[in-house]
Structure 1
Amino acid sequence: MARTDHPVSETQPLYWRVATELLCELRNGPPGGRLPSERRLAGRFGVSRETVRQALEVLRRDGLVATDRRGSHTTLPGLPVETPAALTFPVGARAAEPGADRTTVTWETPPPAHAEALGLAPHRPTLVHRYESADADGRGRRTAVTSFSAVALSEVEELGRYRDRADGAASAQLRRTYDWMRKAGLTLHHRDSITRLADTPSVRVTRRVHDQYARPLEITDLLVDAQQDALVYEFTLPAAG
């Protein structure tokens, strides 16, 4: 039997192509990482669950995936999972004493620029997260507004649960958002643009996050009291499973 690390071609069965694409993702993930459910994989690749089962069987026969009572996981060696500090949400959030920052979530129409970036129809509501923080002396104030896409809410179970309690009143700690996304099988690509605002002591940070299929997941606008020149950088976090 030919192994799945051979080049893919259009003449190969659909399940074989799915197996090959999935293997590429697994090689960039952490060792022993769990795979998303068959339903999620079917939706991600745009195929039936039966096709996904066939693809997983190919990987199992090659010893690349193992299945137990909790589901399937990779048996490949991989990159270690990043430290929690590297996954802090939202961009700009900092360690603080309890009560030093304020976080809330609402179900509302996002800012127009956010709706456009996320591919949302005009006036369509979504989950919006707000973050505020300041030093003990009131300086170094940071405020962030994050809007999530329909993809993020449908594929990341922990985020989807917030819809029914997004009343803007209760505190909402979403610091593990990126960890949740990676555990859902999403590879995260961040693009952060940092721009100094004219005639003010502040900078604006705009973070856009999309997955390995170029689907938008979230956009955050952060305002920070600081002096900073414009800067743009990008990085990618592999999916956790």
Structure 2
Amino acid sequence: MAEDLIARIGAALAEVSPSDRRPIYRRLSDLLARELRQGPAGTRLPSERRLARELGISRVTVRRALDELSAEGLVLRRRGARSAAAVRLEKRLSSLTGFSDELRNRGMRPGQRWLSRQVVLPAPSEALALDLAPAEKIARLERVRLADGHPIAIERAAVPLAYLPDPGLVGDSLYAILAEGGTPPVRGAQRIRAGLMSGRDAELLDSRPGAPLLIVERRCFLADGRPVEFTETRYDGESYDFLTELQPQNGTYQSEMA
């Protein structure tokens, strides 16, 4: 609760050691950082005005403390909205895991906001990725992915109708539906590039135009090599890190100078 947070911050500010020569904004920043690290991601902070009034300090001091937290990536600040604890996730590139399972493995609640589920003709990139003729229709699924209710990615998946004749069957997990139909993907390939949010991206991700994006294109295949899925996911670059494990080639280190 905001009242409890303000009470804890106020008590800590009042118990300043004489040897603590940090400016007030820095002490406030450190105390808020401790609260945010201990609380759930996406937690809303009290407004600048309320923090200043309840703590008996100036709004300039509060704003500077929040600016410090924003620079450290602990707080997301939106014009016209209260600051909130940043949601930051790590995604490993070495495993073929669905979004929902990935979040559950990290103790977070997955969710989505559906934008469309329809049968359509493929875009040229989709037809090429899925080895389809331009006139062969696909199931296209477009949704905003949520982590603990916070939007972090826009996903557009394309699947041949042979494997997903009714896109309305998909709930939380596309992979679960494909597995039920006996066509689970067994391997995949990904391409990652950087981008900037358009106005639509920013609106869907509760961000701002021009904010960083990580754009991932993924092709997944059946055991016999046929492509079963082509997905473009546009991740909020302020919320996602991608991790991969590096190993020496053939188990040994090689020198470029050899």
TM-score between both structures, scaled by the size of structure 2: 0.41
TM-score, normalised on structure 1?
0.43
Q: Looking at both structures, which has the greater relative contact order when contacts are Cα pairs under 8 Å and sequence separation is at least 6?
A: 1
Greater Rg, structure 1 or structure 2? 2
